[in-house]
Amino acid sequence: MKHNRIGVFDSGIGGLTVLRELLALIPGADMIYFGDTARVPYGTKSSKTVIHYTLRCANFLVSKGIDMLIVACNTASAHAIPALKARLDIPIIGVIESGSLAAIDAGGSKIGVIGTMSTIKSEVYEKTIHALSPDTEIIARACPLFVPLVEEGWFDDEVTEIVARRYLSDLATYGIDTLLLGCTHYPLLKGVISKIMGGNVKIVDSAKATASMVAEMICPPLAEGPEREANRAREIIFYLSDLTQRFIDTGQLFLGHEMTHIYEVDLEI
């Protein structure tokens, strides 16, 4: 199986936290990112709508010749993985299973899960974690204001801290030992979140966990494809359904480096 052109899908900017980890762990692959910035947020939408948008965007990525799709968005992973698997003939990897496994591996016996309204409502993390580890206690909490705070760039701000305290203090008193960040944006709030949860709670990031799982699946075959020119510079291409300067500015903070090949596409959904 060759995996040298990886599609990464997110509702907008947040999947760049997953892409950042993938770029670090999988040095040879081309990465084609699609952010559905015209329709973000997905986290407030119904399952039906999230599935509809995700299928449309995934088909676009397939038309760009990807040989694997990473659904970097937790909300899209929560709702659309079965529909994608039923329709697409390439490996589809979401973030739920890898995040759940990482939380269990961290030794979590009382796991807190935070995510968007739509992800938490789906109860996908409870179902996945309980299937893997039936005795684990789970407490899930939607933190809808975290997404706009991150998009505002207020990663370490007093307003963010007040909001985080409001969402998380009862999780802290409930005595969880592990907190799973079940949304692409939340890794950028790790500092504030750790401060509130205290040093004894392990923070597990589904972006990191997913990239590690993909790297384990596909390395080293990338270097071995006969059609791959040795030492060819890889392509990193960004497609967005709405391209703004704000995306580029904030995206570079998420990604940790410059975005050069960036294009707007109209999917006419």
Which spans of this chain sit near ligand DGL (rule: CB under 6 A)?
10-12, 14, 40-43, 73-75, 115-116, 119, 147, 183-185
Choose between 185 and 202: whose C-beta lies nearer to ligand DGL: 185
The C-alpha atoms of residue 129 and residue 215 are separated, in whole angstroms, by 22
Looking at the DSSP bridge assignments, the partners of residue 237 are 32, 261
> CB 73 → ligand DGL: shortest distance, Å?
4
> CB 127 → ligand DGL: shortest distance, Å?
17
**DSSP H helical segments within 135-265, as ranges?**
146-151, 158-174, 190-197, 206-218, 245-255
In whole angstroms, how far apart are CA 166 and each of 77, 156, 244? 27, 16, 32
> CB 13 → ligand DGL: shortest distance, Å?
8
Choose between 36 and 67: whose C-beta lies nearer to ligand DGL: 36
Q: Catalytic site residue 219?
A: no
Q: Catalytic site residue 73?
A: yes
Which of 57, 73, 143, 219 is an active site residue?
Answer: 73
> CB 264 → ligand DGL: shortest distance, Å?
18
Task: Answer for the pair 72, 207: CB distance below 8 angstroms, yes or no.
Answer: yes
| CB-closest chain residue to ligand DGL | 43
Which of 57, 143, 183, 219 is an active site residue?
Answer: 183
Choose between 4 and 77: whose C-beta lies nearer to ligand DGL: 77
Nearest to 51 by CA among 256, 213, 269: 269
DSSP secondary structure letter of residue 79: H
Task: Answer for the pair 17, 188: CB distance below 8 angstroms, yes or no.
Answer: yes
Choose between 177 and 242: whose C-beta lies nearer to ligand DGL: 242
- What amino acid positions are annotated as catalytic residues? 73, 183
